[in-house]
Amino acid sequence: MNPATALSTVLIDELVRCGVTDVVLAPGSRSAPLALAAHADSRVRLHVRVDERSASYVALGLAKRSERPVALICTSGTAAANFHPAVIEASESGVPLLVLTADRPPELRGTGANQTIDQVKLYGSAVRWFAEVGVPEERPGQVAYWRSLVCRACQRAAGPPDPGPVHLNVAFREPLIPDGDASWCEPLDGDASGAWFRARVAPPSAALHIPPTRRGVLIVGDGAPTCGDTSPRRAWRAGPCCRSPTAAAGTATTRSRPTTSCWATRSGPTPTGPTSVVTLGRPGLSRPLLSWLRRAEEHIVVAPDLTRWPDPTRSATQVAQAVEIPIAAGGDAWLRAWRHADHVAREAIDAVLDSSGLTEPRLARDLAEVLPNGSLLFCGSSMPIRDLDQAMRPRRGLRLMANRGASGIDGLVSTAVGAALAHNGPAYALIGDLTLLHDQNGLILGPREPRPDLCLVVVNNDGGGIFSLLPQAALEDPFERVFGTPHGVDLGYLAAASGLPYALVEDPEELSRAIKGDGLRIVEARTDRVGNAAVHVAMRDAVRAAMRD
């Protein structure tokens, strides 16, 4: 089966699974795969109109009266532009339209190719959501991506709270018609083990009731709700599904409680992972946790906004604003096994760090431990947040923050300054040298501006430390120049140029004294990128050995 036919077959099937019954089509060449798939599916009521403007208003009327999303399909070029008036009307009147515009592949755009215009975000702010589907390819994982994308589009169009049009731009390469071959590299409709699950989105007022299971886990990530029935604190008391372990990811507030460490999730006390996973917030930092989501039979996402939910693995089976978490009588073996694994992993990690001198993960662990109660700790988005994730011990009285929306290093000094100005108490930031240099203008405060009580603890490994832990490190010849990017900047001079107090930490025992003070100030800890990579390998090997014992 060619990719265009595969994508179109899956797309129409998923529309039907999401409750779409009507498809309006304006004929064209590039949209042929979608047209043929819609025509072949007997569950769809197909409406064909020769004029795109008329077709779009037919779809508008169908959706307005039925109060259900209706799919609207056209070919590439100005055909898509003729949908614009109806899209605007649907936006202003809150009518759920699913606009599917066929498009040329990227290599034909901007070349003067026939019937090719810029269709990316063609309708601007008139749509509730836009997605460039991408040219389909025959490789595993495409089916889950396509179905997840369509499910999100249907949910966003239907609302609540704000129904309206959604635009999916679908690029096709030739061939555009079926080639007689029905084979594909993965099942188009899932396999016996459930290769994909469509996320069932619960009504806003309904709470999901999870049946008890003896292998459940709660994952609390960045941006998790902090109050109400879905708060990490309440969920931690109960545990999802039964007496189950809780895993914290990123800056999750549950780090004030005993949680399963990322190292325990890597090796684990059992050969099989959880059967049921509940996620609050964004769980995208830890790869072992992400693998749990992919393998779990049930992945329930709890999200305040049912029009957007975090699902980086596209494995969600249910989405809801609230979830009922029952307690099962007995059956504590699963929880006890994870608590023991976590204890073993943390002892192994501490032993490595205590004997390694001043290293980046030790600096993260010790800093989080010595900060006074009521402190804010802002984390850099590259290695600092990962070092905290791997080395921090659970503790109370510390508020963690990070810019994990886009996870970039842009403007982190300024973000930390702003957060410190809003925080009622001392504030600290653990960031890398490149992060500091990227936003060194954030250190400049006018003489009449409010001054934050913020200590910037800067890990200086003279470049991009995270790349030493990635496959790029094996590229010895170009590595330093294009990944390591050493800069040679003396941060002491940088602090002096900004008129800020400065201290250099050369031994772990100096940290608690160096961070004392008030106002905006810089504390530098110099580390070695190669040595840091070796410490991370030592931590991994120590945990594996401890688990085997």
**Minimum mean pLDDT range among 218-222, 493-497, 543-547:** 218-222
Alpha-carbon Rg for the chain, nearest whole angstrom, is: 26
Domain CATH for 211: 3.40.50.1220
Residue at 427 is within a domain = yes
**pLDDT computed for residue 505 by the predictor:** 97
Which structure tokens are listed for 444? 């400049």
**pLDDT computed for residue 192 by the predictor:** 41
For residues 89 and 134, state if they share a domain. yes
Residue at 266 is within a domain = yes
Residue at 190 is within a domain = no
pLDDT of 363 strictly over 50: yes
For residues 539 and 397, state if they share a domain. yes
**pLDDT computed for residue 190 by the predictor:** 56
Query: SS in 3 state form for 492-542?
Result: HHHHHHCCCCEEEECCHHHHHHHCCCCCCEEEEEECCHHHHHHHHHHHHHH
For residues 146 and 243, state if they share a domain. no
For residues 14 and 155, state if they share a domain. yes
For residues 488 and 411, state if they share a domain. yes
Rounded Cα gap, residues 127 and 92, in angstroms: 10
Rounded Cα gap, residues 238 and 240, in angstroms: 6
C-beta separation of 154 from 115 below 8 A: no
Q: What is the mean pLDDT of the chain?
A: 87
For residues 364 and 321, state if they share a domain. no
Residue at 115 is within a domain = yes
pLDDT category, 347, cuts 50, 70, 90?
Answer: very high
Residue at 225 is within a domain = yes
For residues 388 and 527, state if they share a domain. yes
For residues 389 and 311, state if they share a domain. no
CB atoms within 10 A of CB 505: 22
Residue 399 backbone dihedrals phi, psi, to 5 degrees: -100, 120
pLDDT category, 225, cuts 50, 70, 90?
Answer: low
Q: Which residues pair with 129 in a beta bridge?
A: 166
Q: What percent of the chain has pLDDT over 70?
A: 89
3-state DSSP assignment of residue 251: coil
Position of tokens 């990490």? 232
pLDDT category, 323, cuts 50, 70, 90?
Answer: confident
Domain hosting 159: range is 3-171
How many CA within 13 A on the CB side of residue 395?
22
Rounded Cα gap, residues 263 and 342, in angstroms: 8
**pLDDT computed for residue 227 by the predictor:** 46
C-beta separation of 528 from 379 below 8 A: no
Tens of pLDDT along 392-435? Answer: 998 899 999 888 777 888 888 998 999 999 899 999 999 999 99
Domain CATH for 79: 3.40.50.970
Residue at 187 is within a domain = no
For residues 375 and 517, state if they share a domain. yes
| Domain limit, last residue, from 171, 188, 215 | 171
For residues 18 and 100, state if they share a domain. yes
**pLDDT computed for residue 253 by the predictor:** 59
Rounded Cα gap, residues 101 and 122, in angstroms: 10
Q: Is the pLDDT higher at 214 or at 330?
A: 214
For residues 408 and 330, state if they share a domain. no
3-state DSSP assignment of residue 299: strand
Number of domains, the chain? 3
For residues 163 and 83, state if they share a domain. yes
C-beta separation of 320 from 279 below 8 A: no
Residue at 549 is within a domain = no
Residue 101 CA to chain centroid, in angstroms? 27
> Could you tell me the pTM of the whole model?
0.78
pLDDT of 230 strictly over 60: no
C-beta separation of 497 from 440 below 8 A: no
Residue 429 CA to chain centroid, in angstroms? 22
